[in-house]
């Protein structure tokens, strides 16, 4: 696949942040981060991207310039008085679990997504992990998207359950990890839990398992199992799930499709983007990523799972 940023637009709504992260490999202070940023940059390798978020006056203009240079439409980023959302966390040992040291919501606390009028006709929508009330607010502003996906987290499952269930009714795809899936439906078997979640709305339930890859359950009828790329070193897992979602959405928007086989390929492109993202801090690896890098790793994913052709 050669450089080809085309197709429908992806609308992404979520956090734009400054992250202070420490891992066994080193640390960064107030580096570019946020779910919307990771997913927008990942999606930008495939399709035009529009981002909706909020930053404070302290947000370095070079970060906005970086997004613009990647052809991400940043008119949906509100710049308001105050400080940008700041997350501080650390990863230890096997890097599977972040320990949050500080979450300073700052201007993100009063975030109200406002979509520029021409964003409303976007065909592919990714609602990153934010308050489900805001996710619903975005959906009310949309015209008739082709495919809507959302992310969420344990806090919303516990504290905004009714609103989250309303979001799930309206989305086609939900991204969750094992623990969130079990928490949402109270079933420990992931296959049964995912099928229960499908009954709540989303035809596709994508289970993000980090180093163990991803599963995509399709309406209780089939299951796609995707590998994780066997990296020799993970530098910083921050943004892995969001770059996964971004690569997934970007690929679908470029194809303009929403069938199961396209979604399977999208999962692998998502895994590809996530595998690059964790190879450096912040957005550093994605900044220097090329289409050739993506194509080669996607081919590696194909070889990595091959054992026999379909009959």
Nearest to 59 by CA among 85, 29, 89, 88: 85
Find the largest Cα–Cα distance for the chain.
61
Tokens of 242: 């969001």
Contact (Cβ atoms closer than 8 angstroms) between residue 179 and residue 154: yes
Size of the site for a second copy (CB under 8 A): 42
Q: Give SS3 for 19.
A: strand
Question: Rule CB under 8 A: is residue 2 a binding residue for a second copy?
Answer: no
Nearest to 127 by CA among 74, 174, 159: 174
Question: Rule CB under 8 A: is residue 223 a binding residue for a second copy?
Answer: yes
Q: Would you say 158 or 179 has its CB closer to a second copy?
A: 179
Least distance between a second copy and beta carbon 113 (Å): 33
Least distance between a second copy and beta carbon 310 (Å): 6
Least distance between a second copy and beta carbon 299 (Å): 6
Q: Would you say 69 or 304 has its CB closer to a second copy?
A: 304
Question: Rule CB under 8 A: is residue 265 a binding residue for a second copy?
Answer: yes
Tokens of 104: 């300073």
Question: Rule CB under 8 A: is residue 224 a binding residue for a second copy?
Answer: yes
176-215 mask for a second copy (x: CB under 8 A)? ------------xxxxx--x-------------x-xxx-x
Least distance between a second copy and beta carbon 232 (Å): 5
Q: How far apart are CA 230 and CA 204, in angstroms?
A: 25
- End-to-end CA distance of the chain, in Å? 26
Question: Rule CB under 8 A: is residue 121 a binding residue for a second copy?
Answer: no
- Pick the binder of a second copy from 83, 88, 160, 264 (CB under 8 A): 264
Contacts of 33 (CB under 8 A, 6+ apart): 17, 18, 19, 21, 87, 238, 239, 282, 283
Residues that bind a second copy (CB under 8 A): 93-94, 188-192, 195, 209, 211-213, 215, 217, 222-228, 230-234, 261, 264-265, 267-268, 299, 302-311
């Amino acid at each position: 696949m050669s450089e080809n940023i085309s197709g429908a637009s992806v609308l992404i709504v979520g956090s734009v942040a400054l992250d202070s992260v420490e891992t066994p490999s080193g640390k960064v202070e107030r580096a570019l981060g946020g779910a919307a940023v990771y997913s927008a940059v990942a999606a930008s390798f495939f399709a035009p991207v529009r981002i909706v978020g909020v930053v404070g006056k302290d947000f370095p203009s070079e970060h906005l310039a970086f997004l613009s240079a990647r052809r991400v439409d940043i008119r949906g980023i509100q710049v308001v008085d105050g400080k940008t959302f700041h997350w501080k966390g650390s990863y230890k040992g096997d890097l599977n679990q972040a320990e949050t040291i500080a979450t300073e919501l700052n201007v993100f606390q009063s975030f109200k997504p406002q979509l520029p009028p021409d964003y409303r006709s976007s065909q592919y929508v990714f609602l990153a992990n934010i308050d489900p009330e805001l996710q619903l607010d975005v959906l009310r502003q949309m015209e008739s998207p082709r495919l809507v996906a959302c992310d969420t987290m344990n806090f919303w499952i516990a504290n905004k359950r009714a609103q989250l269930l309303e979001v799930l009714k309206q989305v086609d795809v939900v991204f969750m990890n094992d623990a969130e899936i079990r928490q949402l439906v109270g079933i420990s078997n992931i296959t049964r839990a995912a099928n229960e979640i499908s009954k709540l709305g989303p035809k596709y339930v994508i289970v993000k398992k980090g180093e163990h890859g991803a599963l995509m359950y399709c309406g209780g009828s089939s299951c796609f199992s995707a590998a994780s790329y066997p990296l020799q070193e993970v530098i910083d897992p921050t943004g892995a799930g969001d770059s996964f979602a971004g690569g997934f959405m970007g690929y679908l928007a470029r194809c303009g499709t929403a069938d199961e086989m396209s979604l399977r390929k999208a999962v692998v492109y998502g895994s590809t983007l996530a595998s690059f993202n964790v190879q450096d801090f912040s957005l550093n690896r994605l900044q220097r990523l090329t289409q050739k890098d993506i194509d080669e790793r996607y081919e590696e994913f194909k070889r990595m799972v091959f054992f026999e052709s379909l009959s």
